[in-house]
Structure formats: C-alpha cells, structure tokens
Structure 1
Amino acid sequence: MEHFYLTLLLLFVSLITLSLFFLFYKHRSMFSVPNLPPGEIGYPVIGESLEFLSTGWNGHPEKFIFDRMHKFSSHIFKTSIFGEPAAVFCGPACNKFLFSNENKHVVAWWPESVNKLFPTSLQTNSKEEALKMRKMLPQFLKPEALQRYIGIMDSLAQRHFASGWENKKEVIVFPLAKRYTFWLACRIFLSVEDPNHVARFADPFNLLASGIISMPIDVPGTPFNKAIKASKFIRKELLAIIRQRKVDLAEGNASATQDILSHMLTTSDENGQFMSELDIADKILGLLIGGHDTASSACTFIVKFLAELPHIYDQVHEVVFNNAEQMEIAKSKGAGELLNWDDIQKMKYSWNVACEVMRLAPPVQGSFREAIKDFIFNGFTIPKGWKLYWSANSTHKNAEYFPEPDKFDPTRFEGNGPAPYTFVPFGGGPRMCPGKEYARLEILVFMHNLVKRFKWQKLLPHEKIIVDPMPFPANGLPVRLIPHQA
C-alpha cells in the first residue's frame, strides 16, 4: 500500500512538472516573434503578475505603467501577466485604437478566474455571454428608461441615510457606500428592497468582487477560493429569487417589464430558446457586481476628497442650496417630494466634481482585450492571441493630457471637457460601460442626500489607499459627521 501511494505521489509530481514545463515553453515561444514592443516578461509562467498586482495593493497602480513607459520610452510595452503574454497600451491614441477595433483586431478578454467564477460562461465563453448582455441591457440602462428610477433612487437614499448616517457622530464610509449602491442594484435589477434580504448576500458579494481579478489559485484562504465559495452561496440565493419570480409572473403578481430579472425570464433568443435559471443567475450576479462595486468606490472617494478640500465642498454645498444651478431644486420641493430627471440635469457642477474624483481614483483601472489576428501598431507587431491591457491611469494621471495631474480641479470638465480618449473611467467605443448613465444617477443622488445633511472630517488623515481591483481606503474611511443646523 505504501508503494501505491508513493507511486501516486511521484505521478502527481511528474504531471505538475510536465505542466509547468509545457507552460514555460509555451510562455517563452509566445515571445519569440520578431519586432515585439519593448518590455520585460518577468519570471517564468507568473511573469510580472505580482508587480502588476502589488503596485495596486500599495495604492499606486499607475506606478507599474509609468515605470515601464519611462524605462522603454514607449506608449506600448510588452509584459506577462496572469500567465499570458500581454501588450500594455498607454495614451489616447492607444485607447482610440482598442476602443475602435472591437471585433476587427481585438475582442474582450478576462482572466481565467472569471470563467471559473461564472460557470455558465463555460458553456460558450465569457465573450459570447458578455455580448448577449450588451444586447439586452440598453433598453433598461439608457437615459429615457432610467428616468422612472430616479424617485426610487432618492427614496432609497433617504432611507439609507436615515438608518446608517443620521444621529451618528462617526461612520465608516466605504461599507455604507457599498450598502447604498448594492441596495439600489437589488431594487432596480431584482425588485428586492427588504434590507434584511439584501444584507444576506451583501458580504459574500464583497468577497466575490475581490477575487475576480486575482491569481486563480483555488486553495483555502486565497481570495480566489473565497470568491468561489461566495459565488456558490449567492447563486443559491439568486436561484430562490428567480424561482419565486417565475411563480409571481405565472400568477400575475409580477410584470414582465418591471425589472431586468422579469425581462430575462420572459424573453427568448432568435431560436425561441429561453435562458436557464442558472444562466440568469450568473448574468444577474455579474450585473449586481458591476452595478454597485464601481459606484460605491466613486461615492467613497467623493467623500474623501470633499473632506480634504473644504473649498470644493463649500462650492458643492453652495450649488445645492444657494446657487441658481440647484437652488430651484430645494425651493421647488414640497414635503416628501422626490428628485426627478430635471433636478438631475441641473447638477452640472456636482457631476464635474464626481468626474474629477474618478479621474484621480478611477473605479476601473483598465481592461483587457485579446488580439484576434496579427497586426502592426505604432510599428510593433502584436501577435494573434496576445492579451492587450489599456490603463485609465496612463492618461488620467499624465501631465501631457491633464496639466498638474495631482491637482483636484473640476473645471477640467467645463465646456468641451478633456480631449477625446483621455478621460476613460467607463471605457470607450462599443464596449463603453452600458451602466454609465445609471452610475451617474446613483452618484448624484448620493451626493445630493449627503451634502444637504452633513459636513464631515476625516479621522485618519493619512489613510492608505489599496487598489484590489478597485480603489478603497484601507480602513474604510472613518469620518466625523457634522450635521447642518435645520
């Protein structure tokens, strides 16, 4: 028996060794093409993944980009991340090329961790699943469709601030911002608004979001392992909601147009096929992540910057209450009257502030593409199969496109605003985030309800910022609240 186990162990070690050798050989061969961009490929197999991730963990994800741009004097450089040969594209010309060549030279790509966390994408692939979603979402997320949700957003925001902020001397902002945006996503995508129901899977969602862009090592204790466990729990909760909705639709207690879930259940594809319950659960799972994680980061950093820059806070406050831009909002509202579309359209300065926050702390640091054929860009060869990464920070924090890039200046967004393809917190081209307008509404509703209630002070002046994969304060941004006098 001992010999049997020893043989199994030796076989296992041999298989691991052969796999690593194969990966190493494949990894090296992908870099043997002539005329590649300048750059380094790092360690065997893992490449520069640790450097790529660790600069974010240390709060400066742009360092990975700018160090290599400086070293290789190029707006494009090669590297190896997540076990893949990659070219990093930096600058507006690079952004324009990637955003304008969807399905011509490039397609979207996600690390293998994404496919493993969303099992139904394995039936086709994550690219095809994303394409299905992009066809389905516009009718729900375009401005005219979202107008009817503004009152709901304002009502939930008021309930959120009443339960989580008011009558408190100190709060921790980041978890509260996540609670607000997650509550909104559950209400608008699923018609679920009971706080206790929402709270059941709020924490697992945080674990899932943290593990999506991570090394896909499924070992207990790793972010990826925690994300897999969280995704299974959330999927079980969503399946229960889906099955109950099917009953409600059959009995006439729910509408086919009330939210995205009902639409998914009642809409067939061109072949007359309806999505399976698990397929719908995976898609809702992705929507809930995208619908709250990025916006909660933006809301948190709005609080951070307004605390650090009282003159900006004062201008936002003046705009809300004493400036012609929004004074009519406060004056025109009767008791209990909610915000509407016209009110949102008047919040121009507030949105400029939010945009400057997203320039300095972009919720999405960048995104991946995959080359679907060999092509030449800027004189360099990009082989088919290579992964391409565009970085928001390569323009957002570059003095060439934003003078004094570390200075907080909302006036950058007045008039025609920044040059094309330089301000890209929502991506661009055909793959621009379909939830951009939804995010604008929930952020402005948050700002309005926050600023009309409080001023605040940071309790940790030098709190560390971590990017993993989105930026967040290491201690959650604790603040002392100063309520406005009635």
Structure 2
Amino acid sequence: MESIFVYVLNYTTFLILIISIFILYFSVFKTKIRCSSLYNIPPGKNGWPIIGETLEYVSNNQKFVWDRMMKYSPDVFKTSIIGEKVAVLCGPSANKFIFSNETNLFKFWLPPSVAAILSVTNIDTNSSSSRLVTEELHKFLKLYSMQYLVPIMDSKAQQHLQSFWVPDNEVKVHLLAKEFTFALSCCLFLDYHKSEQVTGISEPFYVLNEGAVAMPINFPGTLYYKARKREAELRSKLVDEIRQRKIELSRKNHGGFDLLTRVLMASQENGVMIDETVVAGRIISLLFASFFTTSNTITFVIDNLAKYPHVYEKVLQEQLEIARSKEAGELLTWKDVQKMKYSWNAVCETMRLEPPAQGSFRETITDVTYAGFKIPKGWKVHWNNHSTNMDPKIFPDPEKFDPTRFESNKVPPFAFVPFGAGPRMCAGKEYTRIEILVFLHNVVTKFKLHKINPNEKVIYNPNPHPVEGLRIHIQPHEN
C-alpha cells in the first residue's frame, strides 16, 4: 500500500509539474504573440520551453545560423538561447550596426552561468581595482610592450617544443597547444616560470574552462558544479599570490615584467587600495580569454598545414627566410613578425573556416530598430562570425581553404571580425597574432607534418575541437 501511495504521489507530482510547465509556456507564448504584433519583432521561433534552441545552437552553430537566415531573413531572426530572447543579426551591415552602437543602444552581456564561472558576476567594472587592471592591461598590450614580448614568446615556444614535441614522433596538437598557451599566459600575467607553479593553477583552471560551456546545472556531480568549486579554489590561490606579491614588492624583492606585478606597482605609485578578490577575478577572466581561442586557432592552423602541403610549403619558405637572417641562438623580434605576411593570411583563413569564437552577445538598453524589425529593450542581440565567413558573395567558394583571400585588402569592412570591432574589439588581438605566428615559426622550421587520421571529426560545444586531439606525425627537417 505504501509503495502504491508513493507511486501515485510521484506520478501526481510529475503531472502537476508538466501541467505547470505547459501553463507557463502557453502564457509566455500568448505574451510573445501580443509582443510580436506590437513590436513587429524579427521572424523566427523560440523552440522548447526554457531551453529554447540552445542545443541546436551549440551542436552546429554554422548550420543553425544559415538554416535560419534562409528560412526567415538574411538580416535578422529571433530565437531563444539559455532562456533568453535573442535577435541574431547577420552580415557585415549587422556587425557595423552593433559595433557602432556599443554605448547608446547596447551593453555587453554574458550568460549568467558563464559570468559566474569566470568570476565576473560580482565584479564592479567601475571599481578602482578593476579600472586599474584595465589600464595596466592596455599598457601591457601596447606596441612598445609587444616588442619586448616577442623574444619571450619565442623562447617559451622553443622550450615547449623541445620538451613535448622533439622527444616523440606523434603528438596530440590540441592538448599541447592548450598547455603552451596556458603556460605562456601564466608567465606573462603572473611571472610563473616553474612547472609546479603552472600546474598548481592549471588543474582547477582546466575544470573551470570545461564548465564554462557546460549545461548550467549547479548540482553535485555535474561539470558545472565542479567548475564553480574550482573557480573558488583558483580565486583563493590567486588572492594568496597577490598578497604574497605585495609583500615582496614592499621589500623590493620583485621586479617582474608580468601584468600582476605592473598592477600592484601602479597601485603603490598611485596610492590605490586594491581589492585582491577583484584583481584575482580579472586575472581568471584574462587567463580564459587568452586560452581556448588561441589554442584552438593554433590547433586548426597546424591541421590545415598538414592537410594542404602547398600552403605548408609557402609558410615554410617564408619562415625559413626569416630564420636564415638570424644569428645562431638569436631570438625573433618584432620586425621578424611583421614579415610573416603569408603565414598570417593562412591563420586568417583558418579563423574564417573555424572561428575561435562563434561571436558574442549584447543586451539592448532601449528598443532597437534594425532591417525594418523592432528588437525590444532587454532582449539579447547576437553577432555571429558564420553569417559573413561562409557567405559566397563575400568569400567565393567559401568551403575552400585559400589564404590568398586576405591579400591586398580584398575583404570588405566588417565582413571578417574574428576579434570583434569597435570599442569592444579584443584588446589582445596583437598579442594573439604574435603568439600564434611565433609558435607557427618554430613548428614549421623544425618539423614536417602529417595528419595521422585524415578523416578526424570536429565537434562543437559550441567551439570547435578535433575529437582525437589532432594527432600529427612530426618529422624533423634534414639539416
């Protein structure tokens, strides 16, 4: 009798839950119909209750965008992602519209689950500590700083290849690219040079990184729950590091070039009391921003060089010419990087076909009119790389890998924006460009590349990664 009662109770609870969801869904649906007629909002559909079209968006972003552009409108369509009403604006004109109205029509927006993972949920970007990090970051990424960073990046790339590539004849590029980019960021942001220092924060960071794109279910056992716990652990480690670094600076025992040292020295010079938790949170965000996009791009550049020998040969000859101009043991310089023109075209073509990030979100701060449709205040707006990168009118035969597309300024404005544009353009664009090219120089001048599985699949979550980690056979060049 007790088991029957429990069964009936559970079944009744389940029915009440289902009925409640549908009542909520249809009440919201009616509200949306009234909103549609009132606002003339963009065409599209909202998908399932609560989750909307999130799964389709995540699993194949390119197909998601182009299917809806063809079905609804090539300019703008509506959808629902992670419970938010979203207008997806498409094409170069849409990119220009968004990037030109960053302050008067839109504000930057991150999904709350991602913001929590990246320690930015409770950070006041206008606080003195946050502003200080931003100011020093911009100085750090200025041209004069880049000239100092090139030889450091070259040295780190050489050390990485000697340790993890040279001893083997087969490597998993994606894993090693992540290790290199993270170790380099730790060096330049935190002055971490020892492997145990990097490992101490890499373990929680890798879980945090995976959790940032996981389903936001904060329940014990889920990846998102583990990531939240690791975020707190990482933030605590960085707060301890900041406090220790302040003591070292007070004793004049630390004179590093890294970003954290620069922030702390600036706080002392300007008499600014910093909030260690805020600074730690900003560093976590910077580590994340410099990590997965760059490592993904390095991975797919190596993939394309292995797939297209004629492109590899052109890149190799360009890099060998630079290498021949150097004395034995001499590190790369800023001027050397500026000579890597065809190599950068190959990188750009890689980013066109496999964007390191799918795009970004904004939130409307007022009612917005675009392409004859109205987007209500509070809606999220999404610009997406695929709507331009795969447009045959902009890039003829868009499936073809062709670095010459980027010669002589052939690409129209706002048609190729892997780093965004306008006031919110990625501040680390030049940093990323140098890092990729320096790493590429060291790989191609040392190794021939052969893809072990030519049919290795690429999956999305939502960003691309090869399912086997991109297994490459490497063969040293003959002297």
Q: Same fold (TM over 0.5)?
A: yes
The equivalent of 1:58 in structure 2 is none
- Structure 2, unaligned runs of 5 or more: none
Whole-angstrom distance in 2 between the partners of 1:163 and 1:253: 30
Whole-angstrom distance in 2 between the partners of 1:13 and 1:208: 36
The correspondence of residues 363-382 of structure 1 with structure 2, limited to 5 A, is: 363-382=356-375
The correspondence of residues 9-158 of structure 1 with structure 2, limited to 5 A, is: 25=27, 29=31, 32-33=34-35, 34=37, 35-55=40-60, 61-119=61-119, 121-122=121-122, 124=124, 134-158=134-158
TM-score (norm 1): 0.89
The correspondence of residues 336-355 of structure 1 with structure 2, limited to 5 A, is: 336-355=329-348
Change in Cα spacing, 1:229 to 1:126, as seen in structure 2 (3 Å) is farther
Whole-angstrom distance in 2 between the partners of 1:369 and 1:127: 22
Once the two structures are TM-superposed, the CA of residue 16 in structure 1 deviates from its matched residue by 11
- Which residue type is aligned with residue 249 of structure 2? L
1:426 aligned onto 2:428 = no
Change in Cα spacing, 1:123 to 1:334, as seen in structure 2 (3 Å) is closer
Work out whether residues 140 and 260 of structure 1, in 8 Å CA contact, stay in contact via their aligned partners in 2: yes
Whole-angstrom distance in 2 between the partners of 1:224 and 1:42: 24
Change in Cα spacing, 1:120 to 1:396, as seen in structure 2 (3 Å) is closer
Whole-angstrom distance in 1 between the partners of 2:123 and 2:327: 53
Work out whether residues 123 and 278 of structure 2, in 8 Å CA contact, stay in contact via their aligned partners in 1: no
Once the two structures are TM-superposed, the CA of residue 50 in structure 1 deviates from its matched residue by 1.6
Once the two structures are TM-superposed, the CA of residue 339 in structure 1 deviates from its matched residue by 0.5
1:177 aligned onto 2:177 = yes
Whole-angstrom distance in 1 between the partners of 2:294 and 2:30: 40
Once the two structures are TM-superposed, the CA of residue 245 in structure 1 deviates from its matched residue by 0.9
Whole-angstrom distance in 2 between the partners of 1:129 and 1:36: 40
- Which residue type is aligned with residue 430 of structure 1? P
Whole-angstrom distance in 2 between the partners of 1:286 and 1:367: 15
Deviations 1:284-308 (A, max 9, x none): 0011111122111110001100111
1:475 aligned onto 2:475 = no
Work out whether residues 129 and 275 of structure 2, in 8 Å CA contact, stay in contact via their aligned partners in 1: no
- Which residue type is aligned with residue 275 of structure 1? I
The equivalent of 1:416 in structure 2 is 409
Specify the SS of the correspondent of 1:122.
coil
The equivalent of 1:300 in structure 2 is 299
Whole-angstrom distance in 2 between the partners of 1:451 and 1:52: 35
The equivalent of 2:192 in structure 1 is 192
Whole-angstrom distance in 2 between the partners of 1:131 and 1:14: 50
Whole-angstrom distance in 2 between the partners of 1:30 and 1:129: 42
* RMSD, aligned α-carbons: 2.9
Whole-angstrom distance in 2 between the partners of 1:159 and 1:262: 24
The equivalent of 1:291 in structure 2 is 290
Change in Cα spacing, 1:26 to 1:190, as seen in structure 2 (3 Å) is farther
Once the two structures are TM-superposed, the CA of residue 335 in structure 1 deviates from its matched residue by 2.2
Whole-angstrom distance in 2 between the partners of 1:297 and 1:212: 16
Work out whether residues 121 and 129 of structure 1, in 8 Å CA contact, stay in contact via their aligned partners in 2: no
Once the two structures are TM-superposed, the CA of residue 282 in structure 1 deviates from its matched residue by 0.7
Deviations 1:91-117 (A, max 9, x none): 000000011100110111000113322
- Structure 1, unaligned runs of 5 or more: 56-60, 322-326
The correspondence of residues 442-481 of structure 1 with structure 2, limited to 5 A, is: 442-481=435-474
Whole-angstrom distance in 2 between the partners of 1:27 and 1:146: 53
Work out whether residues 132 and 263 of structure 2, in 8 Å CA contact, stay in contact via their aligned partners in 1: no
Change in Cα spacing, 1:287 to 1:23, as seen in structure 2 (3 Å) is farther
- Which residue type is aligned with residue 285 of structure 1? I
- Which residue type is aligned with residue 160 of structure 1? H
Deviations 1:205-256 (A, max 9, x none): 232222223432112343322321221232232223212211111110123x
1:388 aligned onto 2:378 = no
Change in Cα spacing, 1:52 to 1:293, as seen in structure 2 (3 Å) is same
- Which residue type is aligned with residue 334 of structure 1? E
Specify the SS of the correspondent of 1:224.
helix
Change in Cα spacing, 1:379 to 1:282, as seen in structure 2 (3 Å) is same
Q: Percent identity?
A: 45
